[in-house]
Amino acid sequence: MGSVLALSSRPGHQNWPFSTDPPPSRWDRRDGRLPNPGSFHALHRSCKEVFPQQIEGVKMIVNKTLSSFFKVSHILHLSAVSPSYYRFHVEHLQSDDYSKDKDAPALIGEMDSTGSMNAHSLLHLTERVRARTVFQTQQSQFVTWQFETEYRGNDFTAAVTVANPDVLRESVILVAHFLQSVSSGLVLGGELVYHRGRAEEGGILTLAGQYSRPNWVATLNAGKGGAHASYYHRANKQIQVGVEFEASTRTQETTTSFGYQMELPEANMVFRGMINSRCIIGGVLEKRLSPLPATLIMGAFVNHRGDKLQVGLGINVG
Amino acid sequence: MGGENVQCWCVCVYLMYVENGQMGSVLAAASPSPDPQSAAAGGGMAVSGLMSVPPGFTMPPVSSVPPSADAGSALPNPGTYEECHRKCKEVFPLQMEGVRLVVNKGLSNHFQVSHTVTLSTVGDSGYRFGATYVGTKQTGPAESFPVMVGDMDNTGSLNAQVIHQLSTAVRSKVAIQTQQQKFVNWQCDVEFRGQNFTSAVTFGNPDVVVGSGIVVSHYLQSITPALALGGELVYHRRPGEEGTVTSLLGRYTGENYVATLTVGGAGAHATYYHKANDQLQVGVEFEASSRMQETLTSLGYQLDVPKANLIFKGTVDSNWVVGATLEKKLPPLPLTLALGAFLNHKKNKFQCGFGVTIG
């Protein structure tokens, strides 16, 4: 649903702040019961993680673990095209008995040098029910405030999200997700978005399906708003490949992307490359500098159509 | 008024081709002059920085000062005029932007070839091919002549230099620079090295048809083993106007420092270079230009960590510009990785780039 300020997250989990490892191992079950399909946001994630993230300018991240519950990051970004900023990021982990993944952070907050704030919180209310809230501000103005409740059954997940409810303007966006494990590899589900403003209201229904095997995962979302198909393949321990197709009826555009990730653990190196139907080619190299607890990131993206180049360097300490 | 304009133009052109990269040069601005410490390839070809080198090049070694004069009475040769400020300038990092890939290949002891691919965020991306040929006439342990250096751009711009030792004391150089098909610079110079002095004459852009040209003459004399004094006379001529610019140079070399001062009609330029220890070198530079009516003070330092195969250069400037470059060799591969970033606080502009050199 497009967040204004992308939340800084750990490397390897580029688009999702909360960790979900290990990924649901649908093919490990031997007792005949179908596994829980996970959350709706996670459907395309394995493919998206293969793609390199666009990096620009110089970014320095200093991570500090203050205690077993508390982690702090200082992020300094010097950029040629956008204003430079300093960002403070803090994570507090939950000590709840109900949390399945013990190190999933429960509270995440980020504050910018311009005053923009980003706050996420994840609460495990009971063993099966989770509540999540997101607040985002752009300087002093609230841009996003949303509340989500998710119920994880034995072989299904249902979630309801209320986004930007505004009593004064009489506007709200309601999203309902449902995912059901149909067989050991197949997950089917859907998403219903209802938005209401003062002058208009409407609903969009999207159907989703995911088929997974031990080495690959294929996902498809199709609805009136467009289609999104992704295919993720793990060739061997070192190479992962992802292909993604997006079509939008609103912007009347389609994009096909091909990405790959190559890991060389002996060289402490991860390389991600991608090529796009918009004539964008990019690559990002991450290298752990072994005696030091530091990671060096170098990346470049070239848009051949517009003949534009974006170069970025980053260093993560700690 | 007209005379002053011609003088400004001539001084500008002169400064462009004599001091490579200082105060803006036509083509050299596109890519920085090569790092004199860049890796040697086949046959000991490494830049030592005597001649102004076309961008993207490694030059074969041409020693600046011949082996120390026999004891006591004889004064050593002071080197060349252009080189006096060079030791300090080498300490400063060069501004990097975009991505650069350089592949150097030594084809034989005499021939070296380089391919450079530049992807730029602000300028044009391009490919450049360069070749260096070192002749067979050997005049010293690491010097051979003639030296021919040329490189060509993907747009057709050419840089070429031929350096030859005509006799034991006389060396000459011919250099040509074109911007696509138009000739921008063509110059010839002759240098004479005496026992304790050096003199050189350069003819720049001589054009008999139009009747214009620039003649530069340098003279540098060792007064004591540490002190060298010299002067430069620039005579420029265009149809209808002519003029001269003179400047004086003094250089004092201490045990681990070099201080140089140039004072002339175009302004003043003072540099101080200090070698603190094997790892740290510091340079301070002061430039005052009477034409642009401004002064600039820069501090630069270079940190060598040979154990980590690392060279770090940093600079702070009175224009509120802070910059740094990091060069790291990645053994066992013959790879060098260079990262650089410059930040102009006053204008709030930031530039970063990285490059990989293979071979």
Q: Tens of pLDDT along B299-323?
A: 999 999 999 899 999 999 999 999 9
More confident residue, B224 or B58: B224
Handedness of CA A265, A22, A13, A250 (dihedral sign): positive
Q: Is the pLDDT score of B1 beyond 60? A: no
Residues of chain A in contact with residue B352, where contact means CB-CB under 8 angstroms, are: 57-58, 78, 80, 311-313
Residues of chain A in contact with residue B119, where contact means CB-CB under 8 angstroms, are: 300, 302, 309, 311
Is the pTM higher than 0.80? The answer reads no
Q: Select from A298, A309, A312 the Cβ nearest to the Cβ of B119.
A: A309
pLDDT tens track for B88-118: 999 999 999 889 999 999 999 999 999 999 9
- Asked whether the beta carbons of residue A58 and residue B119 sit closer than 8 angstroms, the reply is no
Distance CA A200, CA A194 (A): 11
Coil, strand, or helix at residue B354?
strand
Coil, strand, or helix at residue B203?
strand
Q: Please report the pLDDT score of residue A33 as a whole number.
A: 73
Coil, strand, or helix at residue B307?
helix
Residues lower than pLDDT 70 in chain A: 1-32, 94-105
Q: How confident is the model at residue B181 (pLDDT cuts 50, 70, 90)?
A: confident
Instruction: Label residues B313-322 b or e (16+ Cβ within 10 Å = b).
Output: bbbebeeebe
Instruction: Give, rounded to a whole angstrom, the gap between the first and last alpha carbons of chain A.
Output: 31
Instruction: Using CA coordinates, name the residue in chain A closest to B99.
Output: A311
Nearest to A134 by CA among A98, A97, A165: A165
Q: Please report the pLDDT score of residue A96 as a whole number.
A: 54
Q: Please report the pLDDT score of residue A4 as a whole number.
A: 39
Distance CA A233, CA A217 (A): 7
Nearest to B65 by CA among B262, B276, B228, B303: B228
Tokens encoding A98: 């109900």
Distance CA B52, CA B86 (A): 10
Look up residue A250 and give its amino acid: R
- Asked whether the beta carbons of residue A58 and residue B350 sit closer than 8 angstroms, the reply is yes
- Asked whether the beta carbons of residue B349 and residue A80 sit closer than 8 angstroms, the reply is yes
Strands B349-358 and B98-106: parallel
Q: Select from A84, A311, A313 the Cβ nearest to the Cβ of B121.
A: A311
B7: which DSSP letter?
A: H
B339 in contact with A, Cβ within 8 Å = yes
Phi, psi torsion values for B223, nearest 5 degrees? -90, -50
Handedness of CA B43, B47, B49, B53 (dihedral sign): positive
Nearest to A99 by CA among A73, A77, A132: A132
Q: What is the DSSP string of B265-302?
A: TTEEEEEEEEE-SSSEEEEEEEEEETTTTEEEEEEEEE
Distance CA A101, CA A97 (A): 10
Phi, psi torsion values for A42, nearest 5 degrees? -85, 0
Q: Please report the pLDDT score of residue A32 as a whole number.
A: 63
Q: Which residue has the tokens 């071979």?
A: B359
B281 close to B301: Cβ distance less than 8 angstroms: yes
Tokens encoding A183: 């067989």
Task: Calculate how close chain B gets to A239, using CA atoms only, in Å.
Answer: 23
Computed over every residue of chain A, the mean pLDDT equals: 86
Q: Please report the pLDDT score of residue A101 as a whole number.
A: 57
- Asked whether the beta carbons of residue B350 and residue A308 sit closer than 8 angstroms, the reply is no
Q: Which residue has the tokens 């911007």?
A: B179
Distance CA A275, CA A244 (A): 11
B128 close to B31: Cβ distance less than 8 angstroms: yes
More confident residue, A31 or B19: A31
Instruction: Give, rounded to a whole angstrom, the gap between the first and last alpha carbons of chain B.
Output: 53
Chain A interface disruption, residue of B326, B352, B354, B356, most A CBs within 10 A:
B352
Residues of chain A in contact with residue B117, where contact means CB-CB under 8 angstroms, are: none
Q: Is the pLDDT score of B19 beyond 70? A: no
Nearest to A274 by CA among A17, A79, A47, A15: A47
Q: Is the pLDDT score of B354 beyond 80? A: yes
Task: Calculate how close chain A gets to B337, using CA atoms only, in Å.
Answer: 11
Look up residue B355 and give its amino acid: G
* A-contacting residues in B 66-125 (Cβ below 8 Å): 97-99, 119-121, 125
Helix (H) or strand (E) holding B253: strand B241-253
Q: Is the pLDDT score of B44 beyond 50? A: no
Residues of chain B in contact with residue A80, where contact means CB-CB under 8 angstroms, are: 121, 349-352
Coil, strand, or helix at residue B82?
helix
Q: Please report the pLDDT score of residue A95 as a whole number.
A: 61
Task: Calculate how close chain B gets to A79, using CA atoms only, in Å.
Answer: 6
Q: Is the pLDDT score of B9 beyond 90? A: no
Nearest to A103 by CA among A20, A24, A15: A20
Residues of chain A in contact with residue B120, where contact means CB-CB under 8 angstroms, are: 309
- Asked whether the beta carbons of residue B341 and residue A78 sit closer than 8 angstroms, the reply is yes
Q: How many CB atoms lie within 10 A of CB B312?
A: 18
Distance CA B60, CA B26 (A): 24
- Asked whether the beta carbons of residue B352 and residue A58 sit closer than 8 angstroms, the reply is yes
Q: Is the pLDDT score of B350 beyond 70? A: yes
- Asked whether the beta carbons of residue A308 and residue B121 sit closer than 8 angstroms, the reply is yes
Nearest to A114 by CA among A77, A72, A81, A70: A77
Nearest to A177 by CA among A133, A225, A221, A234: A221
Computed over every residue of chain B, the mean pLDDT equals: 82
B13 in contact with A, Cβ within 8 Å = no
Question: How far does CA A269 lie from the centroid of its chain?
Answer: 22
- Asked whether the beta carbons of residue A309 and residue B353 sit closer than 8 angstroms, the reply is no
B126 in contact with A, Cβ within 8 Å = no
Q: Please report the pLDDT score of residue B70 as a whole number.
A: 45
- Asked whether the beta carbons of residue B99 and residue A79 sit closer than 8 angstroms, the reply is no
Distance CA B355, CA B95 (A): 12
Contacts 24+ apart (CB under 8 A), A282-285: A282/A52, A282/A54, A283/A52, A284/A52, A284/A53, A284/A55
Residues of chain B in contact with residue A308, where contact means CB-CB under 8 angstroms, are: 121
Q: How confident is the model at residue B51 (pLDDT cuts 50, 70, 90)?
A: very low
List CB contacts of B284: < 8 A, sequence separation 6 or more: B88, B271, B272, B297, B298, B299, B300
Q: Please report the pLDDT score of residue B15 as a whole number.
A: 46
Q: Is the pLDDT score of B142 beyond 80? A: no
Q: Is the pLDDT score of B2 beyond 70? A: no
Distance CA A58, CA A311 (A): 9
How wide is the angle at C-alpha A57 spanned by C-alphas A56 and A63, nearest 5°?
95
Number of Cβ pairs closer than 8 Å across A and B?
A: 44
Strands B158-165 and A117-124: unpaired
Say how many residues make up chain A.
318
Q: Select from A57, A298, A310 the Cβ nearest to the Cβ of B350.
A: A57
Task: Calculate how close chain B gets to A100, using CA atoms only, in Å.
Answer: 43
List CB contacts of A152: < 8 A, sequence separation 6 or more: A36, A128, A129, A130
Q: Please report the pLDDT score of residue B266 as a whole number.
A: 84
Q: Is the pLDDT score of B146 beyond 80? A: yes
Residues of chain B in contact with residue A307, where contact means CB-CB under 8 angstroms, are: 125
Strand partners, A242: A232, A259
Nearest to B147 by CA among B239, B50, B56: B50
Look up residue A172 and give its amino acid: V
B131 close to B41: Cβ distance less than 8 angstroms: no
B150 close to B134: Cβ distance less than 8 angstroms: no
Q: Is the pLDDT score of B45 beyond 60? A: no
Strands A308-317 and A57-65: parallel
Look up residue A51 and give its amino acid: F
Has the ipTM of the complex gone over 0.85? Answer: no
Cα torsion B281, B286, B289, B290 to 10°: value is -150
Q: Please report the pLDDT score of residue B79 as a whole number.
A: 87
Strand partners, A161: A148, A175
Distance CA A133, CA B328 (A): 46
